[in-house]
Amino acid sequence: MPQIIRASLWLSFFGIILLSWAMLYMMAIDMDLDLIGRPGPMAQAMSDMDPRMPMSMPMAEFGPLFAMWAVMMAAMMLPTMVPTLTTYEQLMISADGTRAGWLGVLLGYFVVWVAFAAVIAGVQLALLFGGVINMLGIGVKWFSVVLLIAVGAFQFTKAKETCHGVCHAPMTYFLGQWRTGFGGGLRMGLGLGAFCVGCCWGYMALGFVGGTMSLLWMGLATLLMILEKLPDIGHYVIRPTGAVLIAAGVALAII
């Protein structure tokens, strides 16, 4: 029975991820965007619209934007949780971890990222009404340049190193913050989620460079975040990524 429960939970976990990506794909199609976020005629017309116009435009309203970002958090961040959840499973054998605690860790982590979805949806609205990005979430040139360089520079900071250290080695975090049961798992999940937001917020913000509904950006950001959490190569990915982002910002400024 324990193995059946374990298999069911893992299958549900990956099912949610696949469903989230399918929903994002359908959203992109509905918005007349291709896989790399390039707009078709309808999307191009929408990107030129003024958000202050007296008509209903979902991308200029908090509710639809928050829902979009929440789905994106599930699609992009849940895959990065696999090492953390498997680490917790090791403690179910060597310590007193439980399947309820495993679910608590997962829920706590996701709650933090949903909260971040609310924050970044608000940021997107502020940027939209401030004329910094258009209706598709694509920033003006100067903003994209600044954002690329800023996120690239963050890869070299102590804050990135500290937050990545927790995300990259969850066993150390678990041993230092260990709590039992669902409530304990939830508390540890909230802490892990907070460190993960501190580590990966920049990749989310980069959606404002090429468009927040670009599946290419989502896929690349997810891949980079997964690579950063891999035990053997995670530490070797951060600074080269930062250098590439800074170079991309400088190149965009020159073009």
Closest by CA position to 188, among listed 70, 102, 114: 102
- The whole-angstrom separation of Cα 169 and Cα 209 is 30
Count the alpha carbons within 13 Å of 62 in the hemisphere toward its beta carbon: 6
Q: Return the percentage of the chain with pLDDT > 90, whole number.
A: 63
- The whole-angstrom separation of Cα 181 and Cα 97 is 7
Which amino acid belongs to residue 203?
A: Y
pLDDT in tens, 216-243: 889 999 999 999 988 778 888 999 999 9
What is the predicted pLDDT for the residue at 102? 95
Which amino acid belongs to residue 234?
A: G
Please check whether residue 235 is in contact with residue 168, taking contact to mean a CB–CB distance below 8 angstroms.
Answer: yes
Place 3 in a pLDDT band, splitting at 50, 70 and 90.
confident
Q: Is the pLDDT of residue 92 over 90?
A: no
- The whole-angstrom separation of Cα 163 and Cα 67 is 26
What is the predicted pLDDT for the residue at 93? 79
Can you give the three-state secondary structure of 102-154, one letter per residue?
HHHHHHHHHHHHHHHHHHHHHHHHHHHHCCCECCCCCECHHHHHHHHHHHHHH
Helix (H, G, I), strand (E, B) or coil at 155: coil
C-alpha of 166 from chain center = 17
Longest dimension (CA), the chain: 61
- The whole-angstrom separation of Cα 178 and Cα 229 is 21
Q: pTM to 2 decimals?
A: 0.89
Annotated domain spans of the chain: 2-254
Q: How far is CA 58 from CA 27, 62, 66, 207, in A?
A: 12, 8, 10, 18
* Spatial CB neighbours of 174, under 8 Å, sequence gap ≥ 6: 87, 88, 91, 188
Q: Which of these ranges, 68-72, 151-155, 178-182, has the smallest mean pLDDT? A: 178-182
What is the predicted pLDDT for the residue at 50? 59
Closest by CA position to 133, among listed 202, 221, 200, 49: 49
pLDDT in tens, 190-205: 999 999 999 999 999 9
Sign of CA dihedral 165, 159, 140, 53: positive
Q: Is the pLDDT of residue 150 over 90?
A: yes
Q: Is the pLDDT of residue 98 over 80?
A: yes
